[in-house]
Amino acid sequence: MNKTAPLSPESYLKGLNDPQREATECLDGPLLVLAGAGTGKTRVLTTRIGHILMTRRAWPNQILAVTFTNKAAREMRDRVATMIGEVTEGLWIGTFHAIATRILRRHAEVVGLKSNFTILDQDDQIRLIKQIIEAEEIDDKRWPARSVHAAIERFKDRGLTPEKVGVVEAGDIADGRIAELYKIYQDRLIVLNSADFGDLLLHCLSVFTSQPEVLRKYQEQFHFILVDEYQDSNVSQYLWLRLLAQGRKNICCVGDDDQSIYSWRGAEVGNILRFEKDYAGAKVIRLEQNYRSTQQILSAASQMIAVNQGRLGKTLWTASGPGEQIRVRAVWDGESEARFVGDEIESLYRRGESLDEIAILVRASFQMREFEERLITLGVPYRVVGGPRFYERAEVRDAIAYLRVIAQPNDDLALERIINTPRRGLGTATLQAMHGHARALGISLYDSAKQLIETDDLKPQARSSLRRIIEDFARWRGQAQAVNHIELAEIVLDESGYTGMLMNSKAADAPGRLENLKELVSALNEFETLGGFLEHISLVMDRDDNAAGDLVSLMTLHAAKGLEFNNVFLPGWEEEVFPNRRSVDDGGGAALEEERRLAYVGLTRARQRVCICHASSRRVYNQWLACAPSRFITELPEDLVEHEMEPGLYVGVSEPGIDSLGEDWGESSVGRGPGFQRMRANRGSAPPAPAGGELVTVGTIAIGTRIFHQKFGYGTVLASDSGKLEIDFEKAGTKKVLESFVEPA
């Protein structure tokens, strides 16, 4: 750290509002910063780090700042450097996984690993578990590797080692043998000198609890601990932070309980809710001034989220003015919804709005198809956020597997992936022999191969091919000492025959796959060593969208967290779609509150305009559902919403969760919000007549009459009740519609 005189606090604290400044200057003791959407939490975090450094309260290596994405970590580091005008070398800023990896490599031997251990990705983890399931003769049809893997992930997220998995936690997973499989899996990882993502925190916890002197070292080192997005932390992360913070207790957690939407991947909203109980004397500061959205949007979102019981509470406000009302558009179905949104996007574009400032946020990925097709039809360029990552492409994974075996010969899963790619005549029989020998001696697959090629256990051709690839790896490992990792990658891809395989391929995607390999080699230039590159691609989880130009963004609500746009479309706000029926059925009240938090996230992504859409019917997994507007719509404040209906459409609202969405024609309004009251009040005005015929007078159509409906086509009346008909349509099935929307056939 430079010895120059520190900057005046006023120079970097200028522009902070009062709560932001208080959160920055409150350095002693535990602090929870409840930062609502768009309230400047990143600025507070970075200014707080800068303030600690500029006031000489700590050196850079005495500050630990933990984030959830590599992008956030880079942004935080860059902002601090810009603010204080000094190099930030020494700061411990990174993701939970990256920081845990750094600590674990220093103390790997405590848990039976070497410091150069490999971090396995999900694909390798599942392949390893599949091998174990087969060896243990578990029914893989009933208990596929992915479900066993998911169970093990949950245990690790909760800080449970195999020994801590009890009967209750295990349940009947893998015929009640999940704890046993978990133990075999962990033992196998040790043999492979490997760890998965969950292990990075779990092993750190083991190091801290079994080696108190190691824990004390880090407790004394970190004078200040800062945590971003604390509401997304899981139990392992929570325990890890608790242990580190017990030393000096200067921990500052920033988060928003109203944006906790990742329980499906282990996040525990309870971590942030019980902060004050966990840390005696903790101070809570609320950031409520929003710098993103209009007051209309904020007020609507605040009233809706206030329905949740499990929250600490805050009310967002802005000085930027009221803005436009939230539009709620009722449409016939998903196709009509996509057509409406597409037309609105075109209209915004003609008015001068950038496509980059337009987003369509859906609850589930199945909703995307119709929007994609519509945007293609209109010629509107778009990006789908959530496609395959570069490092997940097959040819890239293969190339990385070669590099992993060079860096770490005991990486069985990497070796197995490319042992016969390109084809070398090393089939199932050879692999079985290698695995059997490896298991019998407790050695790696690579060492097993080295021994087998010196015996007659393999057929001559297989033995010769295996010898060549083992010798190749030995030669490449030697070359790694003489050439840089970029040249090495080029040599490996050429000498292995992988590049030639693609060049000789007649497949339509072969040229593109070759380009991907070139890009991979180019990416190596950004790293000083092969080990650094391999660790980076194991840890990096950020999704980069490479599409260029002005593009509409299409993504799920989960993927949208942290983003913002001028214009946001929120389609599919219907019961059973959103809130998602499966989530609520499985998770009950807690899941419903998380669904409402997800709706809150969607609303608060918008700076200027929000348009919510809900359909009268929707095709979900090839089945048509009659739909009622989401309860979240009824929870929006009456004076902030503008309701619209597609011509010819009448929106009937049923009790949420009752009568299979819209089947109830009763007048009960118990539990319904202002949205329902507005809709019921609008019943007095007759809907517009459909084109192509006269409206039938209410109450005159007899049962058995053949009719025509503008949307559903021809059908026969099954029942009639006060102007409402139940009709068996020839193509759409049984529907309930208003009599005023049909005409005699």
- Strand 118-119 and strand 194-195: the pairing is parallel
The whole-angstrom separation of Cα 582 and Cα 577 is: 9
Specify whether 608 is catalytic: no
Scan for tokens 């009459």, then name that residue: 705
Which one from 228, 395, 411, 412 is the annotated catalytic residue? 228
258 catalytic residue (yes or no): no
From the candidates 314, 383, 605, 609, give the one annotated as an active-site residue.
605
Q: Kindly state the DSSP code that residue 40 receives in the 8-state scheme.
A: -
Judge whether 616 and 711 are in contact, CB under 8 Å: no
Catalytic residue among 95, 118, 259, 294: 259
Catalytic site includes residue 229: yes
- DSSP-assigned letters across all residues of 166-203: -HHHHTTGGGGTHHHHHHHHHHHHHHTTEE-HHHHHHH
Q: Which residues does residue 736 pair with via DSSP β-bridges, in sequence order?
A: 726
Q: Which of 41, 79, 329, 463 is catalytic?
A: 41
Q: Give the integer Cα–Cα distance in Å for 89 and 86.
A: 9
Q: Which long-range contacts (CB under 8 A, 24 or more apart) does 105-111 make?
A: 107/207, 107/211, 107/214, 108/203, 110/206, 110/207, 110/210, 110/211, 110/214, 111/190, 111/203, 111/206, 111/207
Q: And the tokens for 261?
A: 């939407």
Does 249 qualify as catalytic in the annotation?
A: no
How far is Cα 557 from Cα 555, in angstroms, rounded to an integer?
7
Contacts of 519 (CB under 8 A, 6+ apart): 390
> Which candidate in 22, 25, 42, 57 is catalytic?
42
228 assigned to active site:
yes
Sign of CA dihedral 134, 180, 448, 493: positive
Give yes or no for a contact between 380 and 344, defined as CB atoms under 8 angstroms apart. Answer: no
- Catalytic pick from 229, 370, 575, 739? 229
Instruction: Give the tokens for residue 452.
Output: 């087998």
First vs last Cα of the chain: how many Å apart? Answer: 85
Helix (H, G, I), strand (E, B) or coil at 713: strand
Rounded CA gap, 397 and 616, in Å? 45
Task: Report the 3 state secondary structure along 347-411.
Answer: HHHHCCCCHHHEEEEECCHHHHHHHHHHHHHHCCCEEECCCCCHHHCHHHHHHHHHHHHHHCCCC
Active site residue 605: yes
Which three-class secondary structure state does DSSP give residue 620?
A: strand
Active site residues: 41-42, 228-229, 259, 605
